Amino acid sequence: LAGEDGSTRPTIFAEMSALAAATGAANLGQGFPDEDGPEWIREAAVDALRSGENQYPPRRGSAALRAAIAGHQLRNYGISLDPETEVLVTVGATEALTAALLALAGPGDEVVTLEPFYDSHAAAIAMAGATHVTVPLVPADGGFALDRAALDAAVGPATRLILVNTPHNPTGAVLARDELASIAAAAARADAIVVTDEVYEHLTFDGAEHVPFATLPGMRDRTITISSSGKTFSLTGWKIGWASGPAHLIEAITAIKQFLTYSGGAPFQSAIARALTEGDDDIVALKNTLNRRRELLLDSLTRVGFRTVRPQGTYFVCADATPFLTAGVPDGAAFARWLPGEIGVACVPLAAFCREGSESAGRLRNWVRFTFVKDDATLATAIERLAALR
Ligand code: PMP
Ligand code: GLN
């Protein structure tokens, strides 16, 4: 069975959201906004439904959305793409990731990711039958940092693909240009393809700059960039994502994608085409709101006694729960399962983003992740309840 390593068991997000619902806890576990994205974008989907955009879109995605994605990459990053051959619309970033892994890696290939890693990355590697090799991101005072010696040890002749994620879930790290340059050098040395998950590309703080991997010297021709409208426009249930990169790689991914879903979300594709073209102000507004909520949550966690790492991006804060552990609640996984019933707040353990028994799993054993992408009332409730830990 695929995922005998446990990578395809029910996700921690579903488990923790169910526990939050059962206990009435403020859900700072699963990362989804509880405020829907801009009304004008939702109205654009209604218009598309009413005007008859209800049949299969083309398997590569609607021409309007592919053009909008190419326009977005050019305007924001100077990456020029041919929307006909270098852009693929997918059912969320999740499908793009899985199709990319199935298309580009297989048995005998090694796929390198950072660790901790987003759970679908490990599952997609398992589905492809490839071998998962990891490089730790290590908590430091200034944030989580790439272990470069481990990177050099991990990437070698068997490396088919390096899966990057920046801004990074769960750590909130925005990989610095020099860290990405180390990954680029390793990819070039091993002649590996790079798949980069940039779904949080617009959610950065403290002036941190998101550097798209494809903009690094020499990398465009070996990089598949994946993103999604879910995080950028707070419309995670629409599942409109995309992949872009060199035509021959996009063609290979399209060949798989057509038999996963063929296509999806016709009216939402139209609405996101407009959002990507006309929605820059909404992105800035979201980022400002999130920045304020990040400060509130960080301040509350720190005051209560957690050691936190200040995230430069995403909508997550990681916290070391060691001061609250006891014989009965011995680690972060136990803490995350105990907290909702005890004080009414849900989070997720970082162990869920690590391979069992790995060095990172040991180092982050007592850590948990809280999300701040919640409305002010939910966040205020959570903060009030967290104070009970003091
Ligand atoms: N990658 C990362 C790092 C994520 O955090 C998420 C979702 N939270 C996804 C991919 C999945 O994106 P989508 O919902 O568009 O499938
Ligand atoms: N990406 C979201 C998170 O990290 C969860 C998405 C999901 O539940 N599949 O919390």
Of all protein residues, whose CA lies closest to atom 8 belonging to ligand 1?
31
Spans of the chain below 50 pLDDT: none
How many whole angstroms separate alpha carbon 226 and alpha carbon 162? 13
Q: Where are the domains of the chain?
A: 12-37+282-389, 39-278
Q: 3-class secondary structure for 241-305?
A: EEEECCHHHHHHHHHHHHHHCCCCCHHHHHHHHHHHHHCHHHHHHHHHHHHHHHHHHHHHHHHHC
Please give the backbone phi and psi of residue 113, each rounded to the nearest 5 degrees, phi first. Answer: -125, 165
DSSP 156: S
Ligand 1 centroid to Cα of residue 161, in Å, is 19
Write the CB contacts of 320 (distance below 8 Å, at least 6 apart in sequence): 139, 306, 307, 308, 366, 367
Please say whether the beta carbons of 110 and 159 come within 8 A: yes
pTM above 0.90, yes or no: yes
Q: What is the dihedral of CA 19, 21, 27, 33, to 10 degrees?
A: 130
Ligand 1 first shell, C-beta below 6 A: 31, 92-94, 118, 165, 169, 197, 199, 228, 230, 236, 239, 241
- Distance separating alpha carbons of residues 4 and 27, to the nearest angstrom: 30
Which DSSP helix (H) or strand (E) runs through 370?
strand 367-371
Strand-pairing partners, residue 144, are 139
pLDDT in tens, 153-205: 999 999 999 999 999 999 999 999 999 999 999 999 999 999 999 999 999 99
How many angstroms from the chain centroid is the CA of residue 22? 26
CATH class, domain 39-278, is alpha beta
Pocket test for ligand 2, best of 32, 117, 314 (most atoms within 8 A of CB): 32
Write down the pLDDT at residue 102: 98
pLDDT tens-digit map of 250-301 = 999 999 999 999 999 999 999 999 999 999 999 999 999 999 999 999 999 9
Place of tokens 């009970």: 388
Burial class (CB in 10 A: 0-12, 13-18, 19+), 157: exposed
> What sign does the dihedral 94-98-104-106 (CA atoms) show?
positive
**Nearest CA owner, ligand 1 atom 14:** 92
190 CA to centre of ligand 2 in angstroms: 31
In terms of Cα–Cα distance, which of 230, 273, 267, 275 is closest to 65?
273
For the Cβ of 244 lying below 6 angstroms from any atom of ligand 2, the answer is no
What is the predicted pLDDT for the residue at 167? 98
C-alpha distances in Å from residue 299, one per residue of 47, 180, 291, 387: 42, 30, 12, 11
Domain 12-37+282-389: give its CATH architecture.
Alpha-Beta Complex (3.90)
Hey, what are 47's tokens?
């218009």
Q: Is 214 helix (H, G, I), strand (E, B) or coil?
A: helix
Q: Which helix (H) or strand (E) holds 124?
A: helix 119-128
What ipTM did this prediction achieve?
A: 0.97
What pLDDT does residue 2 have? Answer: 62
pLDDT (0 to 100) of residue 5: 77
**C-alpha closest to that of 179 among 133, 213, 215, 225:** 213
